[in-house]
Amino acid sequence: MRGAANPLHQKKVNPNNRPTIERYGRAGIDVGSVTQWLEGLSELMRSINSGTAKRILMDSIAEMACTLLALDKSALLLADSRNERLQVTGSSGLSRAYIDLINGSRPISLHGQGPTYSSPSAQAYLTRAVVLIPIASHASEFSA
């Protein structure tokens, strides 16, 4: 006699009418979410390979981050040619005035070190590590 079906492996039809497995094993990975990430990465790779203009590509990466991470706003920051500051090279949901502020009169300096980094973005860039911050909207220096 067969046991009851494992609820972690129930088949389900997604909005695109493609069968998916709702959850994957003990890790509880949502296959629909994994599929969304893979489709997003595939879309970005097609853009890269098609010769899309750099600014459009950078904005696409920021938009994809918003979609995949359920964010309202995002920015793609890269170091300038002298490696002195980070500049917004792509964005989604940010005002032009905010981008101009970061890229102009309030740059994100890369000169700090140790506990005196100029910003969490600079710290993440310089240490090559994820930097967790409290809700950014509660800190005045992050208001967009």
The pair of structure tokens assigned to 82 is 């002298």
Over residues 105-116, the pLDDT tens digits come to: 999 999 866 667
Structure pTM? Answer: 0.64
For tokens 């492996």, the residue is 9
How far is Cα 7 from Cα 69, in angstroms, rounded to an integer? 26
The pLDDT value recorded for residue 51 is 82
Over residues 40-77, the pLDDT tens digits come to: 888 888 888 888 888 899 999 999 888 888 888 899 99
How far is Cα 15 from Cα 17, in angstroms, rounded to an integer? 5
Which one, of 23, 34, 18, lies nearest residue 68 by Cα? 34
The pLDDT value recorded for residue 23 is 42
Sign, Cα dihedral of 130, 132, 133, 136: positive
Over residues 122-142, the pLDDT tens digits come to: 988 988 888 877 665 665 555
When pLDDT is cut at 50, 70 and 90, the band that residue 30 belongs to is: low
Mapping DSSP to helix (H, G, I), strand (E, B) and coil, where does residue 91 land?
Answer: strand
pLDDT beyond 80 at 92: yes
